[in-house]
């Protein structure tokens, strides 16, 4: 089978949706299919793109349009760029399945390939909901886009969905949102993502801390998030820094983003020098060690967490998670750590839960129970066959 994945490439742009698309592409490769990914290049331009290969997967990277984010034709130019690159490099081939992970790229591929392939759309989050949240934080330009752009986005997304033979969401929350915006009912299939087999503990907590240079006898809270508004890091910093400043824990924040400088300043103002640590982006090896070394993973998201893949990663290493109730997070948290969920955006509630954890009032299930829960519900052998039914018909 000739399988085409339309969306961002995890090798270029690590993230949750990109990880899902990449894992699925590799799974299809392992099943003997010819796999190609079409995705935007991480630079601006107007070129026709280029074709390469990595990990047994062909990757077509095309340039994003060099228009300002407020430009009224930006969406159409993005679609045109995807269509142009697909026609040039892939239009001569016969495609069995096109698996869409990003809407503009997906629409462009559809324009280029027509009605021949079978189209499947994995909606990671409704584009209308996502952009409504993003634009609300962009001042006057954002308000202009909200006024004039949401209707167009809804039409683009709706047309795409109506042309797809199958639609997948990773959570019941996202399924409900899709039905709210587009009224698709039972056309949507919920299939979560799976725990990758390589995610497992190989070091003791002490060994992991030594490798990272973390203190061995401190309570350490860890998070890895993009440093942007909807991820709730400001809430976590406000809640945890006063406790860390009292010498009760260390808070390690990995990742990067546009608000990192302001988050660092906030932590300093709250007395977090030395006890609140910003690492920047970290390697996959350092991330695994951090899960192994941490006492608690903190997930303070305030909006648009449409699955919560990161909770599965933490559980795979036996690391308990303290999360908010944002969007789909309770779906993974409630069955195993119901007392480790707090209202999104509530500084005092998060601080009280952390305090209870540090004093021993809030005790997670043993690490092996987290791994057992993950294996029973989210193991690759459990989840992947459900997705294969959608992709291979």
Kindly indicate the confidence band of residue 8, based on its pLDDT and cuts at 50, 70 and 90.
Answer: confident
Report, as an integer, the average pLDDT of 306-317.
95
pLDDT at 67: 62
- Would you say residue 144 has pLDDT above 70? no
pLDDT at 185: 86
CATH number of 2-190: 3.40.50.2000
pLDDT at 126: 72
Does the model's pTM come out above 0.85?
A: yes
Which DSSP state fits 195? B
- Would you say residue 70 has pLDDT above 70? no
**Region of poorest pLDDT, from 258-262, 303-307, 363-367:** 303-307
Which DSSP state fits 222? E
pLDDT at 181: 85
| Domain pair 2-190 / 205-377, same fold | yes
Residue spans of alpha helices (H) in 137-270: 139-162, 172-182, 205-212, 233-245, 260-269
pLDDT tens profile 77-109: 889 999 999 999 999 999 999 999 999 999 999
pLDDT at 76: 86
pLDDT tens profile 178-208: 898 888 888 999 999 999 999 999 999 999 9
CATH superfamily of 205-377: Glycogen Phosphorylase B; (3.40.50.2000)
**Region of poorest pLDDT, from 72-81, 114-123, 192-201, 326-335:** 72-81
- Would you say residue 74 has pLDDT above 90? no
pLDDT at 43: 61
Looking at every residue in the chain, the average pLDDT score rounds to 91
Domain ranges of the chain: 2-190, 205-377
Strand segments, DSSP code E, in the chain are: 2-6, 34-44, 50-54, 57-64, 97-100, 118-123, 166-169, 188-190, 220-224, 250-254, 276-280, 296-299, 321-324, 341-342
DSSP letters spanning 276-311:
EEEEES--HHHHHHHHHH-SEEEE---S--SS-HHH
Q: How far is CA 55 from the centre of its chain?
A: 22
Neighbours of 279 (CB within 10 A): 15
If we measure between CA atoms, which residue out of 101, 80, 96 comes closest to residue 38?
Answer: 101
Residue 379 and residue 194 in contact, taking contact as beta carbons nearer than 8 Å? yes
- Crossing angle (nearest 10°) for helices 172-182 and 127-136: 90
Task: Give counts: helices (H), strands (E), the chain.
Answer: 15, 14
More confident residue, 159 or 130: 159
């Amino acid at each position: 089978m000739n399988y085409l994945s339309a969306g961002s490439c995890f090798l270029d742009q690590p993230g949750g949706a990109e990880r899902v698309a990449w894992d699925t592409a590799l799974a299809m490769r392992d099943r003997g299919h010819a796999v190609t990914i079409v995705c935007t290049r991480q630079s601006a331009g107007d070129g026709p793109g280029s074709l390469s290969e990595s990990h047994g997967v062909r990757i077509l990277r095309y340039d994003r349009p060099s228009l300002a984010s407020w430009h009224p034709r930006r969406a159409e130019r993005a679609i045109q760029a995807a269509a142009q690159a697909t026609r040039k490099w892939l239009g001569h081939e016969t495609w069995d399945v096109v698996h869409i992970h990003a809407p503009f790229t997906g629409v462009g591929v559809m324009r280029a390939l027509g009605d021949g392939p079978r189209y499947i759309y994995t909606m990671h989050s409704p584009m209308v909901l996502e952009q409504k949240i993003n634009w609300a934080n962009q001042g006057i330009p954002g308000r202009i886009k909200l006024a004039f752009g949401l209707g167009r986005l809804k039409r683009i997304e709706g047309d795409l969905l109506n042309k797809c033979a199958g639609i997948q969401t990773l959570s019941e929350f996202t399924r409900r949102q899709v039905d709210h915006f587009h009224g698709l009912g039972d056309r949507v299939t919920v299939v979560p993502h799976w725990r990758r087999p390589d995610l497992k503990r190989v070091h003791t907590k002490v060994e992991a801390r030594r490798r990272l240079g973390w203190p061995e006898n401190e309570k350490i809270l860890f998070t890895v998030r993009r440093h942007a508004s909807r991820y709730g890091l400001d809430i976590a910093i406000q809640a945890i820094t006063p406790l860390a400043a009292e010498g009760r824990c260390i808070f390690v924040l990995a990742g990067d983003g546009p608000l990192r400088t302001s988050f660092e300043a906030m932590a300093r103002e709250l007395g977090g020098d030395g006890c609140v640590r910003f690492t920047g982006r970290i390697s996959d090896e350092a991330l695994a060690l951090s899960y192994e070394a941490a006492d608690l993973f903190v997930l303070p998201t305030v909006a648009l967490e449409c699955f919560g893949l990161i909770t599965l990663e933490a559980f795979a290493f036996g690391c308990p998670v303290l999360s908010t109730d944002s969007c789909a997070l309770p779906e993974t948290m409630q069955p195993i750590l119901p007392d480790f969920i707090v209202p999104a955006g509530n500084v005092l509630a998060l601080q009280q839960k952390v305090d209870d954890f540090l004093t021993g009032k809030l005790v997670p299930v043993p690490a092996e129970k987290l791994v057992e829960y993950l294996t029973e519900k989210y193991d690759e052998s459990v989840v992947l066959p459900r997705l294969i039914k959608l992709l291979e018909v």
